[in-house]
Amino acid sequence: MKKSALPDPFAQAREAKGYGTVEDQNDPVTMLLRLKDVRKTAKDTKTFQSGAVPGRIVVPSEVSIRDTRQIPFEVDPPMHGEYRALLEDWFKRPEQPTYRESLEEIITELVDEALQMDSLEVMEQFALKLQSRALTLLLNIPYEESEIWIDWGMHVFRSEESALDGSKAAILYDYIDEQIDKAIASLGDDLYSTLLRSEIEGRKMTKEEVKGVMILTFAGGRDTVINAVTNSIAYFAEHPESLARLDAEPEMTTHAVEELVRYFSPLTHMGRVVTEDTQVCEHAVKADSRVSLCWASANRDASTFENPNEVILDRKMNPHVAFGFGIHKCLGATHARQVLRTLLAVLAAKVKKIEILDYKENIEDWEEFQRKVGYDSIRVRFEGK
Amino acid sequence: MAKITFITSDNEEIVAEATSGTVMELAKENNVNGIDGDCGGVCSCATCHVHVAEEDFEKVGAPGEIEADMLELEDNYNERSRLCCQIDMSDAIDGVTLYVAN
């Protein structure tokens, strides 16, 4: 097995019965493993609710550590559509040429830096910086602000000891409260101010609603982007021919990003609360219980994907769900895609070879399933062209 | 060179032509409202959903199995639904009209 490989721990259960079960703080979760079941469930927002008690649809549940509702992710129709419509245009900004140029500058600087170093630890010294700096573009705030987020370290939402650390999360929440107050005092062109100016149902958005959007923006794009960036570098370390091919055929980059995201599936799964007794893949689920849509398993479903455990960079048909599916599909997907497309282009242009020197895998523990989602740390050496 | 007519949900008519690429790419280049093509054309995001005009459906053809699986869960699905990232530009589809589904 290659060091950069992410094995599929769900294959057997997916084929045999279609679901798994995980115990989560006395509120168990039925994990749906097949692509068609995941898609169908994601589309059925009536039976499978997102707007439950704040934090409940997240696995592990965050009910005990937060009260703020993340928006629009923890809201159901029709209100969901109202919020989403307010946010769509802003989160499409990554397609603008000026945004893309700024992103290219950020990534080029990091790759140039890496090429100068004897070796670097990718998570801390590359991916964390990249994610934090790119986030200043998404929020449209000064680049320097990223220094604060980099100083928070890898895990502002969870500590080394616990996946759920309320005191750690409080750092982010206090920070966002402060930023909202600052924006109220002096409205600008940043995301906070844009939200504060927005109207929903004929009234201004409340501070709590703005906070709900901002927490989601920070939390949703942190680990996911960091893992996707790091996993990409590990992949190219073991597939230098792919890097050379991307350099020769840059038009392949879009397909390559979709394939890498399918293969990595940076977010393993996301939950829903069942509103009425029903069944999923012929398995009964009770009202008020939880199911999860396991994107990572769905993305390896051999009934749709040929050779699902191989990275085929120019895969033409790739109906993956790595950014979710249905109305709650990832709001930051345009930004994430642009980050990865730019990263691939810059790596292909500048890097000849990457060597993995040392690494420690990050294995998520979902009881019967142990899933590698990326690395706790990975040290590499870059070699330029 | 094939010419395509897009009709958006607010009845704007856009005529565009190309010799290669996909219909989704053509729609994006011409800023056809309601065609986002988020995934870049790999049949993953379903944001390029169109209804083929009745008289043109035979020319364009039916969706493949994977595309059909995507489409049947979409809002505004009908029997002439296609994801236009899966329709290649070619002389064979010259003159067709596509109604943007979203």
Q: Which of B33, B65, B73 to mutate to probe the A interface, most A CBs <10 Å?
A: B73
Cβ-Cβ contacts under 8 Å for A333 (sequence gap 6 or more): A323, B38
- The whole-number average pLDDT for the span A144-156 is 89
A58-89 pLDDT tens trace? 999 999 888 999 999 999 999 999 999 999 99
Q: Are A262 and A299 in contact (CB under 8 A)?
A: yes
Q: What is the pTM of this model?
A: 0.96
The half-sphere exposure of B71 on its side-chain side, counting CA atoms within 13 A, is: 22
Would you state the pLDDT for residue A320?
Answer: 98
- A263: contact with B, CB 8 A cutoff: no
Does residue A78 have a cis bond before it (omega within 30 degrees)? yes
Q: Which of B29, B44, B49, B83 to mutate to probe the A interface, most A CBs <10 Å?
A: B44
At A165, the pLDDT band (50, 70, 90 cuts) reads: low
- For chain A, what is the total number of helices (H) and then of strands (E)? 15, 12
Name the least confident of A146-160, A290-304, B61-75, B86-100: A146-160
Instruction: Report how far apart the first and last C-alpha atoms of chain A are (Å, whole number).
Output: 28
Within 10 angstroms of residue B74's Cβ, the number of other Cβ atoms is 17
Measured in residues, chain A has a length of 385
Q: Would you say residue B87 has pLDDT above 90?
A: yes
Would you state the pLDDT for residue A164?
Answer: 61
Q: Which of A357, A347, A363 is nearest to A378 (CA)?
A: A357
Give the rounded percent of residues in chain A with a pLDDT score beyond 70: 97
d(CA A225, CA A231): 10
Q: Which residues of B touch A257 (CB under 8 A)?
A: 40
d(CA A267, CA A98): 29
DSSP result, A25-42:
TT--EEEE-SHHHHHHHH
Secondary structure letter of residue B64 according to DSSP: -
Q: Which of A132, A141, A140 is nearest to A110 (CA)?
A: A132
Q: How many Å lie between the alpha carbon of A312 and the closest alpha carbon of chain B?
A: 13
d(CA A159, CA A133): 22
